[in-house]
Amino acid sequence: MNPYIEILRPGNAVMAAISIILIAFIDKTFTLPVLFAILTVFFETSAGNVINDYFDYEIDLINKPSRPIPSGRISLKNGRNYGYFLFLLGTICGFLISYLTNNWIPFLIVVFADIVLYLYAYKLKTTPLIGNLCVGFMTGFGFLFAGFSINNPHIIWISAILGFFAVVMTIAREIIKDIEDIEGDESTGAKTLPILIGRKIPAYIAFILIIIDVILCPLLYFYNIFTILYLAIIAVAIALFVYSAILILKSQDKENAGKVSKYLKIGMLIAFVAFALGSV
């Protein structure tokens, strides 16, 4: 794969953009602002990934040496400039949404995202729990951004609920990723939660957060937000979430944490499918 595509982590960027597609699908709205919203989230997520790899160069030499920057396929300078360019593209798209809808909240959300994503990569990532919260809230903002881009009060409410689901599950996954990356983080002096208090307590925190979302999932049906089809599909995601929660309590070694992180990602994707089909 071309390193300039690989460094975007296109799978993650596309998954983030799915939040926009999902909300548009629920509202049955497909307009030019929606298209720009999809591009905005893709560019912003990609920019965050690139600038994160730029600042994480030394950590990735240990944890992820095959990534484009530590492997030497992209220079540090080019990686930084590439990240800035992607931030610019995302901000321009955000401006166009606000201009077309005469609603400046989407543009303000994008500017806020620019600042948070940069500060996260630069400093906040190594701050205990704060870094995890930043990633979680930015994931949730994707849904809110979709709601405000469509500019429909009812869909803004639904996007807030789905955003909360994404925030909670993403924070859990980020904590588990910190457990997975503890070796490389320690070598660079990072102060993540597992480094400060050990692996067990963060594993329990992740477990609790996962269970909160597991409880939330069926409630979205019982409060008539989604149809019975949603309940059938979300049951698969719930099973995967519960299995992952139990798995991380059993073992917090690097390999198992990586496996749990992957399972949670798959479960979230299944949940998004349930949200979409359950709104039909």
Read off the pLDDT of residues 156-167 as tens digits, 9 standing for 90 and up: 888 888 889 989
C-alpha dihedral sign at 228, 233, 235, 237: negative
CA distance 252 to 206: 11
Phi first, then psi: what are they for 219, rounded to 5°?
Answer: -60, -30
CA 104 to chain centroid: 23
Task: Please report the pLDDT score of residue 65 as a whole number.
Answer: 83
Closest CA to 48 of 40, 58, 37: 40
CA 215 to CA 218: how far, in whole Å? 7
* % of the chain at pLDDT higher than 70: 99
**Predicted TM-score (pTM) above 0.85:** no
The pLDDT tens digits for 166-195 are: 899 999 999 999 898 887 777 766 778 888
pLDDT of residue 200: 92
Write down the CATH number for the domain with range 3-277: 1.10.600
Q: Which residues of 214-253 are buried (b: 16+ CB within 10 A; e: fewer)?
A: beebeebbeeebbeeebbebbeebbebbeebbebbeeebe
DSSP 191: -
Mean pLDDT of the chain: 89
pLDDT at 128 over 80: no
d(CA 191, CA 7): 25
